[in-house]
Structure 1
Amino acid sequence: MNHFMLPLTDKKAHEVNWGKRGIASDATRYGNFAMEHLINVILKNGGKRENLLAKVFGGGKVLNQMTDVGKRNIDFAMHYLQMENITIDTTDVGDLYPRKVIFEPTGGRAFVKKLYNLQNDTIAQREKDYSKNIEKDNVDGEVELF
């Protein structure tokens, strides 16, 4: 399972500051790194490409005053999966609401709850703060391109 905040970065793999002990971290906040990393970890642990199924959630336009990053993430994910010939099993994308996702990796089940009523502005404030800093912070983690 991955959760990326932006679809792409123009940084190249050799420009990224990789984390200690090969642990993925901030690099996976970008879709192009997150998807490569996820697939590679699955394949390294014995998964077979022909058995991969994707479940795609999110991409809500949570903050009206910001650009529609969610739509760009949805478009990226759908295009990426199509290019990699990975079947999309389930989707719950777009709309205005953040989601809570629980994934059971052993059975492949996912549970999604749209958060219609927020009691405070915590999520909105975190998204605003994160969007201000995402391009400034160093990116590190491990990605092996295949």
Structure 2
Amino acid sequence: MVVLTAVDSRGPSLIEHQSSQRYFDSKFSREAVKILPGEFFVTTRDMLLVTVLGSCVAACIRDPERGIGGMNHFMLPDGGTEATSRSARYGGYAMELLVNELIKSGARRSALEAKVFGGGRVMASLSSANVGERNSSFVLDYLKQEGIPVLAQDLQDKHARKIYFFPRVGRVLVKKLARVNNDTLARREREYQERLARTDASGDIELFS
């Protein structure tokens, strides 16, 4: 596992790391990596990257000519409190980590393209603060400013989502979760939010190819 740490002079160290949760996905017959809140993963191989999103957002970014791609999973609430302002800075850092790791792995910045997902209104405690909407706006604004085109997006709405990203070919499958283990999803996102501060019944699968 590669651990990357950024030290913020205004608060504790903020840690983002490459996921180490590898497994073999029998449905798609390939090695897969599960990405949890606060994690990212970059690969040059023909793998599958998987995550489940509530109010968080995932950016799937790749160099289509070299077949190098990666995904992150982050939360970006912004607001007046210390916790939310700190995590707003963290969102930009999380995107920079993904882009920088792609370039270190051989991708060219000028060739990068993105597909973005998440920002759903699935947790009452976060819906009232429009966290998903702010996450969605942030990731689109960030990619626009960096000159990385967004080829597809599925943002906001009221559903959790399970994302399957095939970096080698750029295909993304999105499964809308009509019901999800909300306790698990809420706990993961709450723990991630707290860390920044100091199954399923599914709908149709959408293909973003």
TM over 0.5: yes
- Asked if the contact 2:90–2:196 (Cα under 8 Å) also holds between the matched residues in 1, the reply is no
| Residues 18-97 of structure 1 aligned to structure 2 (within 5 Å) | 30-66=90-126, 67-97=129-159
Counterpart CA distance in 2 for 1:38 and 1:119 is 28
User: What is the deviation of 1:119?
Assistant: 5.5
Q: Secondary structure at the match of 1:95?
A: coil
1:104 is matched with: 166
1:113 alignment counterpart: 175
Tell me the distance in 2 between the aligned counterparts of 1:7 and 1:85.
23
**Which deviations, in whole Å up to 9, do the C-alpha atoms of 1:112-133 show, x marking residues without a partner?**
1111123563323443454345
Structure 1 distance, partners of 2:118, 2:96, is 19
Residues 58 and 92, structure 1, Cα contact 8 Å, conserved in 2: yes
Structure 2: tracts of 5 or more residues without a match: 1-70, 79-83, 199-209
Richer in strand (by share): 2
Taking the aligned partners of 2:172 and 2:96, their CA distance within structure 1 comes to 21
Relative contact order higher in (CA < 8 Å, ≥ 6 apart) = 1
Q: For structure 1, which runs of at least 5 residues remain unmatched after alignment?
A: 12-26, 137-146
Q: Matched residues in 1 for 2:92 and 2:77: separation?
A: 6
Q: Secondary structure at the match of 1:42?
A: helix
CA distance in 2, matches of 1:30, 1:96: 25
Partners of 1:3 and 1:120 in 2: CA distance? 17
Give the C-alpha shift of residue 93 in structure 1.
Answer: 0.3
CA RMSD of aligned residues (A): 2.4
Paired residues of 2:74 and 2:91 also in contact (CA < 8 A): yes
